[in-house]
Amino acid sequence: MESKVVSTQGKELKSIELSESVFGLPINEDVIYYAINNELANKRLGTASTKDRGEVHGTNRRPYSQKGTGRARHGDTKSNVYVGGGISFGPKPRDFSYMMPRKAKRLALKTILSMKAQDGTLALVEDFTIESGKTKDLVKALAPFVDAKKPERTVIILKDDDPMLKRAARNIPWLSYLSYNRLRAHDLFYGRKIVMLESAAKQLNEFYADEKRSAE
């Protein structure tokens, strides 16, 4: 499939060929759902912790006599029915992360890219950088694609790590950046605008084409 490459001024420059196996797949909602859930689970810290009755500081002495009071029997005040006592079935530190099959993960990323290409939210832009590293220069470069007064969540897909462009982007709350080989399903799916550099698109074609050959 062909897609037009535009300049940072919004002018059409040329057309390039995008791989159908990356940008022309049918929408697979199930695999997208699993990929996003996997990313969110892997980000969870799992540090929530409570003390049970064996960990609460306090005496083991009975609060009152076993018999003769007409009240319920209690062994100590560390029971969960007392204020300041232990917590029953409370959270403990745990690891929420899990592995997702590599093929399924990549299928989810390709499906999201295909969805963005089909609904017109994916824009191919000529390679550019922000030599000054200033935020205002990056906002100016993105002006043809995003309205700075009413910005939408935007993702820039880079060919490689560009320190100056990343420096300019880190102060923009509605903008995130990803390298072509380190994509995140959550950011791509919820991005209202996807700005992909021309070299990143070519690298994606080769990246997944190599994967297909290796699988064969």
Q: How do the pLDDT tens digits run along the chain, 216 residues long?
A: 788 888 888 888 888 888 888 898 999 999 999 999 999 999 999 999 999 999 999 888 999 999 999 999 989 999 999 999 999 999 999 999 999 999 999 999 999 999 999 988 999 999 998 999 999 999 999 998 888 788 899 999 998 888 999 999 998 999 999 999 899 999 999 999 999 999 999 888 888 765 544 343
Residue of 139, 118, 128, 115 whose CA lies nearest to 200: 128
Given a contact cutoff of 8 angstroms between Cβ atoms, the answer to whether 23 and 194 are in contact is: no
Q: Determine if the pTM surpasses 0.85.
A: no
Given a contact cutoff of 8 angstroms between Cβ atoms, the answer to whether 154 and 184 are in contact is: no
The CATH label, of 3.40.50.300, 3.40.50.1000, 3.40.50.620, 3.40.1370.10, for the domain at 2-41+101-215 is 3.40.1370.10
**Phi then psi for 81, rounded to 5 degrees?**
-85, -5
3-state secondary structure of 76: coil
| Residue at token pair 């535009």 | 6
Q: Which amino acid is at 97?
A: S
